[in-house]
Structure 1
Amino acid sequence: MITDNVSNDLVEKWLKGWSLSRKLPLPVKYKSGFKVEVGEEQQKTRYVFSTITHDFIELSKQINEPWIYLKVCASSHEVRKQIPEKWIIQPPGYMMCCFGPMKNPEINLCEGYWLEYEKYHSTTVCKIIAENGEQASTGRIVLVDGVAVYDRIITEEKHRRKGLASFLMQELEKTASAQGISNSFLVATEQGKALYESKGWKLYSPYTSIVIPGI
Structure 2
Amino acid sequence: MAHVISPLILEQWLKAWCLSRKLPLPVPFKSGFKVDVGYEKQKVRYVFPQLYEDFFELANHIDEAWIFLKVCAQPTALKGKIPEKWVIQPQGYMMSCFEPMKIPNIELPEGFKLEFTISGVVSTLKIIAPNGDLATSGHLVLTDDLAVYDRIQTEIGYRRRGLAILLMKELEKIALSKSIFKNFLVATEEGKSLYQFLGWELHSFYTSIVIEN
Smaller-chain TM-score bracket: over 0.9
Q: Distance in 1 between matches of 2:210 and 2:79?
A: 12
Q: Distance in 2 between matches of 1:36 and 1:150?
A: 19
Residue 17 of structure 1 is matched in structure 2 by: 16
Q: Distance in 2 between matches of 1:68 and 1:120?
A: 29
Q: Distance in 2 between matches of 1:121 and 1:81?
A: 44
Q: Distance in 2 between matches of 1:21 and 1:63?
A: 27
Could you tell me whether the CA contact under 8 Å between 1:38 and 1:45 is conserved in 2?
yes
- Quick one: which amino acid aligns to residue 2 of structure 1? A
Could you tell me whether the CA contact under 8 Å between 2:103 and 2:169 is conserved in 1?
no
- Shift in Å, 1:104: 2.7
Q: What RMSD, in angstroms, separates the aligned Cα atoms of the two structures?
A: 0.9
- Shift in Å, 1:134: 1.6
- Quick one: which amino acid aligns to residue 56 of structure 1? F
% identical aligned pairs: 56
- Shift in Å, 1:84: 1.1
Residue 85 of structure 1 is matched in structure 2 by: 84
Q: How does 1:8-47 map to 2 (within 5 A)?
A: 8-47=7-46
TM-score, scaled to structure 1: 0.97
- Shift in Å, 1:157: 0.1
Residue 171 of structure 2 is matched in structure 1 by: 172
TM-score, scaled to structure 2: 0.98
Could you tell me whether the CA contact under 8 Å between 2:103 and 2:165 is conserved in 1?
no
Residue 121 of structure 1 is matched in structure 2 by: 120
- Quick one: which amino acid aligns to residue 127 of structure 1? K
Moved over 6 A (4+): none
Residue 146 of structure 2 is matched in structure 1 by: 147
Equivalent residues, number: 213
Q: Distance in 1 between matches of 2:111 and 2:140?
A: 24
Q: How does 1:105-120 map to 2 (within 5 A)?
A: 105-120=104-119
- Shift in Å, 1:80: 2.0
Could you tell me whether the CA contact under 8 Å between 2:51 and 2:71 is conserved in 1?
yes
Residue 198 of structure 1 is matched in structure 2 by: 197
Q: How does 1:87-102 map to 2 (within 5 A)?
A: 87-102=86-101
SS in 2 for 1:69: strand
- Shift in Å, 1:99: 0.6
**How far does the alpha carbon of each residue in 1:22-67 deviate from its partner, in whole angstroms, 9 at most, with x for none?**
1111001111110111111000110000001111110000000000
- Could you list the runs of 5+ residues in structure 1 that have no partner in the other structure? none
- Shift in Å, 1:83: 1.2
Could you tell me whether the CA contact under 8 Å between 1:97 and 1:185 is conserved in 2?
yes
Could you tell me whether the CA contact under 8 Å between 2:153 and 2:164 is conserved in 1?
yes
Could you tell me whether the CA contact under 8 Å between 1:96 and 1:186 is conserved in 2?
yes
